Amino acid sequence: SAVISQKPSRDICQRGTSLTIQCQVDSQVTMMFWYRQQPGQSLTLIATANQGSEATYESGFVIDKFPISRPNLTFSTLTVSNMSPEDSSIYLCSVELRAAQYFGPGTRLTVT
Amino acid sequence: GENVEQHPSTLSVQEGDSAVIKCTYSDSASNYFPWYKQELGKRPQLIIDIRSNVGEKKDQRIAVTLNKTAKHFSLHITETQPEDSAVYFCAASINTGGFKTIFGAGTRLFVKA
């Protein structure tokens, strides 16, 4: 499996501000994904980020709100922009490695 | 698009009993079916997976079965232990060229000692 780290692990932010979450992998991977998990809920895919191309967003998620960078094969960032309390959630990065999918530890975001 | 339904939402068993979680999927193009275990406050952990060319796979106390015709797949845990208590997610993925995974709603498993 892959070793995946995320920073920060948690944060408390004020509404209207932005937070950038970093995801680092110990292997070179083509596909990286960003998910959101509300408390007690399942995992919802925000977007797929492949190195060298624009991220592909799922229905209900837009680039202006969740801009993503993918500068190389081991790193990605997700920004949550102009935050509101509804953005409070756990954000997880994920990678595809050898035809299986693995998750980072998540970033717990609270917006006040 | 793909839709994955998972049942039951909550399952309580006595230690040593078996637990079965069932999922159905809608997209016949799905060809990869992973199962994840998520303990409180932790990341989803891949525990077993099955691909569409296989009907059953076993790893110690955990087994997964797949019925492609009926679009059903199930997770079986035998001889349950308290440390099996967690939320389990099934998922269906189309893994050809791209890779897109849709998750079930999850099953909260309680194993009573």
Looking at residue B95, its pLDDT comes to: 75
Kindly indicate the confidence band of residue A76, based on its pLDDT and cuts at 50, 70 and 90.
very high
In chain A, which residue's Cα lies nearest the Cα of B90? Answer: A42
Q: List the beta bridge partners of residue A107.
A: A91
Looking at residue B1, its pLDDT comes to: 75
Are A42 and B46 within 8 A, CB to CB? Answer: no
B49 at the A interface (CB within 8 A)?
yes
- The fraction of chain A above a pLDDT of 70, given in percent, is 100
Mean pLDDT of chain A: 95
- Measured CA to CA, the distance from residue B100 to residue B98 in angstroms comes to 7
Looking at residue B97, its pLDDT comes to: 67
Kindly indicate the confidence band of residue A47, based on its pLDDT and cuts at 50, 70 and 90.
very high
* Set of chain A residues whose Cβ sits within 8 Å of the Cβ of B99: 31, 48, 96, 99, 101
In chain B, which residue's Cα lies nearest the Cα of A105? Answer: B43
Contact of A106 with A7, CB cutoff 8 Å: no
Looking at residue A44, its pLDDT comes to: 94
Cα–Cα distances in angstroms (integers) from residue B9 to residues B12, B15, B48, in the given order: 10, 19, 20
- Measured CA to CA, the distance from residue B39 to residue B35 in angstroms comes to 13
Looking at residue A2, its pLDDT comes to: 85
The arithmetic mean of pLDDT across residues A21-36, rounded, is: 95
Are B43 and A96 within 8 A, CB to CB? Answer: no
Among candidates A101, A104, A105 on the partner chain, residue whose Cβ is nearest the Cβ of B34 = A101
Looking at residue A99, its pLDDT comes to: 85
Q: Which of A23-27, A107-111, B53-57 has the lowest mean pLDDT?
A: B53-57
Ramachandran bin of A30, using left for φ above 0, alpha for ψ from -120 to 50, beta for the remaining angles? alpha
Phi, psi of A2 (to 5 degrees): -100, 150
Looking at residue A52, its pLDDT comes to: 82
B104 at the A interface (CB within 8 A)?
yes
Is pLDDT at A42 greater than 80 in this prediction? yes
The arithmetic mean of pLDDT across residues A33-61, rounded, is: 93
Are B102 and A45 within 8 A, CB to CB? Answer: yes
Per-residue pLDDT of chain B (113 residues), as tens digits, is 789 999 999 999 999 999 999 999 999 999 999 999 999 999 999 999 999 888 999 999 999 999 999 999 999 999 999 999 999 999 999 876 667 899 999 999 999 99
- Measured CA to CA, the distance from residue B23 to residue B17 in angstroms comes to 20
- Measured CA to CA, the distance from residue B87 to residue B71 in angstroms comes to 22
- Chosen for mutation from B30, B37, B101, B102 (greatest number of chain A CBs closer than 10 Å) is B101
Residues 6+ apart with CB under 8 A from B60: none
Ramachandran bin of B70, using left for φ above 0, alpha for ψ from -120 to 50, beta for the remaining angles? alpha
Looking at residue B106, its pLDDT comes to: 98
Q: Which of A70, A67, A91 is nearest to A13 (CA)?
A: A91
Is pLDDT at A25 greater than 70 in this prediction? yes
Residues 6+ apart with CB under 8 A from A62: none
E strands in chain A: 4-7, 10-13, 19-25, 31-37, 43-50, 56-57, 68-72, 75-80, 89-97, 100-103, 107-111
Looking at residue B94, its pLDDT comes to: 85
